[in-house]
Amino acid sequence: MTETDELKHKKFIAIEGPIGVGKTTLARKLAEYYQAELLLEGAEENPFLPRFYQDPKGGALPTQLYFLFQRVRQLKELRQGDMFISTYVSDFLMDKDRLFAQVTLDSDEMALYQQVYDNLTIDTPTPDLVIYLQAPVNVLMDRIRKRAIAHEAIIQKDYLEKIANAYLEFFHYYQSSPLLIVNASGIDLVENQHDYNQLLERIEETNSGRHYFNPKPVTL
């Protein structure tokens, strides 16, 4: 593909949203389309995550610290990465780590976590575009059940609601990067080429500010 003039200004695209919304799937498609380097958060690599879902209070701090170290390492590698790679696409935003920590940690744990976070994230890069995928909690629960990942089987609806609400509040105030908010509940960005093409157009058009994407239906 020929890179558009608009996309040349987007060296780093981050996709965010709650569990089950489709971040990784979209990140893979965009990375392939733009011939970009793909950065995935690798939740399956976190040995503490199954323990957290079984015992949220006891497993929260090691789970969050593991994710923090993992994400910082990945983003610092991006900053030091191959100068010939024009674009990076990730399925996480560095800020999401603290967002989850605020939901899962108690006050003493959060104070300790915050000290580590502040020291590690000083030089992490800021995305040129953030794509925030939204969907109702019942849609997220249904998608989580369908993908049938073992440790996600015990995710409770109330926990997912807390995460979804934390995302809503966070992105309500987010101004660090251009932001494209996508209604992911009633569209299929994998199988529906019409929806996906419209999203690609919006990505290339979004260079500043806050924007919303709801695909237009096909007219016959």
Residue 16 lies in a domain: yes
CA angle in degrees (0–180, nearest 5) for 72-42-115: 30
Structural domain that includes position 19: 12-213
140 in a domain, yes or no? yes
The answer to whether residue 7 sits within a structural domain is: no
Task: Give the pLDDT of residue 82.
Answer: 58
Domain count, the chain: 1
The confidence score (pLDDT) of residue 179 equals 97
Average of per-residue pLDDT values in the chain: 88
Do 14 and 8 meet the contact criterion of CB atoms below 8 Å apart?
no
Give all strands of the β-sheet with 12-16 in edge-to-edge order. Answer: 37-39, 88-90, 12-16, 129-134, 179-183, 210-213
pLDDT value of position 146: 86
Decide if 108 is inside a domain.
yes
List the structure tokens of 143.
């998608």
Q: Determine the distance from the C-alpha atom of residue 220 to the mean position of all C-alpha atoms in its chain, rounded to a whole number.
A: 35
Q: Is residue 184 part of a domain?
A: yes
**CATH number for the domain harbouring residue 107:** 3.40.50.300
Instruction: Classify residue 218: in a domain, yes or no.
Output: no
162-193 residue pLDDT tens = 999 999 999 999 999 999 999 998 788 777 88
